[in-house]
Amino acid sequence: MQHTPGLDHPRSRTALRSVQRLVSGYFGLSVLTLVAIVLLRGDAAAVNDAVWIRGTLVVVSAVVMFVCAVRAARGSRPAYRRMRIISTVMVLVIAVIIALPGTFPLWMKIEQGVCGLFLTGVVAILNGRHLRTLFADR
């Protein structure tokens, strides 16, 4: 992996560390949610097929984002781009899930709202001028 110029700048380190923390929060909450889904699996009102699918997909996306956050902090432009795309798409999907009537139980909509807050922070930092400039193709 090529060294990305400016990666050692304090502003870059702070931004990338903040992204890693937010993604870690998203990952942790996603894992806890999957554990809750397993524990509540006998309650059809709390856990339906949509909850199983969404809970699993969120954990997978959180793992991918976590790996990308680590790689981006080491200077990987492709990892940075993947994080920008995944975080933006996930925020949009979360907005749809919260707005959909009846498909997801209230507890999951609340959990997704918190995930959305983590990811909105990620989107804001990743799309800020400093990191966009840092990871711009040269």
Q: Please tell me the predicted confidence (pLDDT) of residue 22.
A: 98
Which tens digits make up the pLDDT trace of 13-60?
Answer: 999 999 999 999 999 999 999 999 999 999 999 999 999 999 999 999
Whether the Cβ atoms of residue 97 and residue 104 lie closer than 8 Å to each other: yes
Buried b (16+ CB within 10 A) or exposed e, 67-90: ebbebbbebbbebbebbbebbbeb
CB proximity list for 47: less than 8 A, separation 6 or greater: 37, 40, 41, 105
Which tens digits make up the pLDDT trace of 58-90?
Answer: 999 999 999 999 999 999 999 999 999 999 999
The domain locations on the chain are: 10-134
CA atoms of 100 and 105, how far apart (whole Å): 10
Pull the structure tokens for residue 55: 């809970």
pTM above 0.75, yes or no: yes
